[in-house]
Structure 1
Amino acid sequence: MQKFKIDKYLPSFLKNSHTYAVVVTDLEGFYTYVNPYFAEKFSFITNYFIGLHSFLTIYPKDHEACTQAVRQCFTCPNDIIKVSLRKPENVLSEFYWTSWEFSLMKDENQDILGVLCVGHDITETELASKRALEFSQKVETILDKMSDGFIQLDQELKLLKINKVARDIFYPNHTKIIGNDILDTINKNLSIRYSAYFQEALDTHVSISFEDFHEQTNHWLNLVVHPSSEGLSIFIRDISQEKKSQIELSKSEYKLKAILDSTTDSNILINPEMKIISFNKPALKDFSSYYKGELKEEIDVREVLASQNKKFFDVYFPLALKGEKHTIEIEKEIDGQKQWFEVSYLPVYNSTAQLIGVSKNTRNITNRKLEEIKIVKQNEAFRSIAWQQSHELRRPVVNLLSLCDLLIKDRDEKEEVKDFYLDSILKSTQELDEIIKAIILLASENEFMNNQENRSNLS
């Protein structure tokens, strides 16, 4: 068939298109016409397509799809048949996606001239669809591997997506639930409780978090509802263990509080989130001298710690959360007097050995520290006395003993010599007297200091 005869029946916008590939094949699939766009696109295959079979430019696995489309053209001669075909790109081993419309091309006498094929590149669309499908599958996998439950609803509260955890909680025996209203498919009691929260999130466009006891599984759940333009995203977390710990802690608090209130030590129990769970009476009493602000339960303990105490807290609280025990001493000046405190950070566990918080104990050890200082001073005085006794006292005593021994042995000595001995004995005796007075003075001063400290403590 002559090319000019085909040209006669093709509109110019198709013949000269830079977007659409236009070809005509005979009834056996051989090219009788290709427009310039198609010829240029596949010029790496050949420079002349007329008379060549159309399979030359079709990916082998799509030959059957092409053949079926041609058959449908003859089965439905007035219809346009759509088909997607992969075409080679640059080299025959690579391909890209194209979308084609096949129809019978007829002349003015309704005689069939061939099969008219108009196609365009849909590679980006196909790749985008493929990537979207792969991403969707990854999301599905991630959702099913989540330890938390997840439910996606549209604006009408119909189920769009649900992961395995949420399905096991709300739909253990259901299979076909996607597309149904969640309030119609879950337990009636749950539907009544949840509907108000769902509607509030949709109306206010504000995320809502609430807790609920699920009777069917005997578990406590925390539900966080996030609204969006598409609907609601709901995350479900099992908080049964946390609730159990809270109940156990609440029961033990009454017992502990009676014990702690009877001690003089200040005690504050802090949860892992640094919130104050409880405190005893001494802590409240000593608060003004050791903390700042108002001591209350459920507040962040860092809000009330003084800057000096906060530095130690930032170091030792995390260590206690790891199971370590630490005790430190802090010196403070209160009302012009030095005070010492022993502060302990101790991990607290429940009956199942689960860490539930940290106990911060504060004990006033001022009296103990003063006693330690007094003992140190006494020891220093005793060491000084011992040194004088062992060194300074020894010298005049040795002199006296030596002189007395000389007097006994040398009785026939001249008077001048004896006078010398007696004068030396007198000097050694005076030296010994001075040393003894110094020792007595040192001991008296130490005793005076002890008496002063005792009076100060009594007052």
Structure 2
Amino acid sequence: MKNNLSIDILSATINSVAESFVLIAPDHKVLICNTSMVKTLEIFFGKEIHIGDDYRDFVLEPLKDIYFSAFENAIQGESTTIQKETSTGEIHLWFEYKANPVYDDAKKLIGVAIYAKNIDEQKKAELAIEYLKTTYESLLNNISDSICLLDSNFKLIQFNTHFKKSILRNIGKEINLGDDFREFLFPQETDAFYTQFNSAISGKTVEDEICVHNIHGETIWILSKMYPVHDKNQTIIGVCLVAINISAKKKMELSLIENEQRFRKIIETAPVPIVIVNKSMKIQLVNPETEKIFNYESKELLGQDINILIPPRFHANHAQYQQQYIQAPKMYRMGIGRFTPAITKDGIEKIVEVSLNSFKVNDETFILAIIQDVTKRIEHENKLENQVETLEKIAWQQSHEMRKPVANILGLVQLIEYDKAYNPLLINQLHQTTKELDDVIHKIVNLTHLNR
């Protein structure tokens, strides 16, 4: 009666265990099997297991090698624990299997106890987390920027491969999880780092451009961005640091700035007025010579329409020329065969020649105008032209007056040739005629001198 009670208590205890349990004799015969194991095996095999059955008949084919290995280890006195997905048809469940040797009071082997714990939900959750972690790490490692996650004490929680390589190359140190990131700072970025970190840990997103020098003496420009990192309760748990190498971009920017400064210097020191306008004919740049000739300060011209330098009565015609040039921009010299009018701030009109050329910056068209003030030259040319006209009139008028004394001289010369005797009268007449011719010549010279 007492033994039966003990067996009942033992059976009740085994059946109350959530894990599936079976005790197998050395010959694989089932000695004890709890209710959970019976139900589990029935799910996979569609039949119940009973005391005395050969347990090998209830082992799925994919698990047989594992079963025999674990069983043999248990017979030899060793315990085995393994997690394995058990599948049949559409049923796929994860179990944790344990195989332990079981001895009696005399230390004699009774058999092997196998425990099968259903860990399907737990395992699938772990696999999902592992998948997310792997995916996250893969994404991080495929990002070309250096990324790391720091806790509030500056300890490294996570970083990607690019970050690790960048630290090794530029700092010369191997970085690991749990390291204090402050030990890997460039000396030049320490102050900026603390400023950014304190802002980010306070909930702000910040960024800054930092110029540093690595262990190889190379100059590196870094765009440092920091973001606060929150947990599911929106509590800040750390800072995400993204470091982007912008050296190439920065060098290009600095080169563009240097080229622009050089270009401006050339424009500013040019000995002739230069004006640059955009496609809308708004003035973008003028040099000091432009200020001198038109009596404007540069700030008065910048942003103004180019018509500010053209007399109002010519605006309509000039607008037409502008449209023609914009449609087919090319190197073009205005003023060949005609001159271009211009006007100063004081309303004084000038005559100029303008050479035009176009260029592009970031796909935006600009027009460069080199201006030459030819007002004095034109005035001088006009004066010369008037002098030429006057001289032509003088020459025409005096030529008629010169013809008479010249004809007389010629006649007297002929008479002298025919008259072999010396005739003083002819000589006097020749002298007088020559004097008249000399007077005419002097008159021409004097008139010419007065018109210079």
User: TM-score, normalization: structure 1?
Assistant: 0.50
Stretch moving more, 140-149 or 223-232: 140-149
Equivalent residue runs for 1:37-436 within 5 Å: 37-43=36-42, 44-45=44-45, 46-55=47-56, 56-57=58-59, 59-63=63-67, 66-67=70-71, 70=74, 83-86=81-84, 88-91=86-89, 96-100=93-97, 115-172=112-169, 173-175=172-174, 177-184=176-183, 186-187=184-185, 189=187, 192-216=190-214, 217-229=218-230, 230-257=237-264, 262-267=273-278, 279-280=284-285, 285=301, 287=303, 327=326, 347-348=360-361, 357-361=362-366
C-alpha contact 1:20 1:119 (8 A) present in aligned 2: yes
Max Rg structure: 2
2:162, 2:363 → 1: CA distance?
A: 33
Segments of 5+ residues of structure 1 without an aligned counterpart are 76-80, 269-277, 291-325, 330-343, 349-356, 365-459
Q: 1:16-57: per-residue Cα shift (whole Å, max 9, x none)?
A: 56x532323335553222233322222242423433444543
Q: 1:279-332: per-residue Cα shift (whole Å, max 9, x none)?
A: 436797464779xxxxxxxxxxxxxxxxxxxxxxxxxxxxxxxxxxx9569xxx
C-alpha contact 1:87 1:97 (8 A) present in aligned 2: yes
Q: 1:240-280: per-residue Cα shift (whole Å, max 9, x none)?
A: 12211222222222343466785444349xxxxxxxxx943
One-letter identity of the residue aligned with 2:64: P
Segments of 5+ residues of structure 2 without an aligned counterpart are 231-236, 287-297, 307-324, 329-356, 370-452
1:112, 1:345 → 2: CA distance?
A: 100
Partner of residue 24, structure 2: 25
Question: Once the 2 structures are TM-superposed, how far is the Cα of residue 224 of structure 1 from its aligned partner?
Answer: 0.9
Assess, with a 3 A threshold, how the Cα gap between structure 1 residues 194 and 23 changes in structure 2: closer, same or farther.
farther
One-letter identity of the residue aligned with 2:259: S
2:188, 2:368 → 1: CA distance?
A: 50
C-alpha contact 2:147 2:240 (8 A) present in aligned 1: yes
1:284, 1:110 → 2: CA distance?
A: 108
Assess, with a 3 A threshold, how the Cα gap between structure 1 residues 69 and 15 changes in structure 2: closer, same or farther.
farther
Question: Once the 2 structures are TM-superposed, how far is the Cα of residue 160 of structure 1 from its aligned partner?
Answer: 2.9
User: TM-score, normalization: structure 2?
Assistant: 0.51
Partner of residue 307, structure 1: none
One-letter identity of the residue aligned with 1:51: G
Task: Give the count of matched residue pairs.
Answer: 287
1:235, 1:188 → 2: CA distance?
A: 15
Name the Cα RMSD after superposition.
Answer: 4.4
2:239, 2:212 → 1: CA distance?
A: 20
One-letter identity of the residue aligned with 1:249: L
C-alpha contact 2:207 2:226 (8 A) present in aligned 1: yes
One-letter identity of the residue aligned with 1:238: N
Question: Once the 2 structures are TM-superposed, how far is the Cα of residue 222 of structure 1 from its aligned partner?
Answer: 0.5
C-alpha contact 2:25 2:111 (8 A) present in aligned 1: yes
Partner of residue 312, structure 2: none
Helix, strand or coil: the match of 1:47?
coil
C-alpha contact 1:220 1:239 (8 A) present in aligned 2: yes
One-letter identity of the residue aligned with 2:251: K
Helix, strand or coil: the match of 2:225?
strand
One-letter identity of the residue aligned with 1:25: I
Q: 1:145-194: per-residue Cα shift (whole Å, max 9, x none)?
A: 3222222223322223333332232222434522211112x145156235
1:155, 1:65 → 2: CA distance?
A: 49
1:21, 1:11 → 2: CA distance?
A: 14
2:303, 2:129 → 1: CA distance?
A: 60
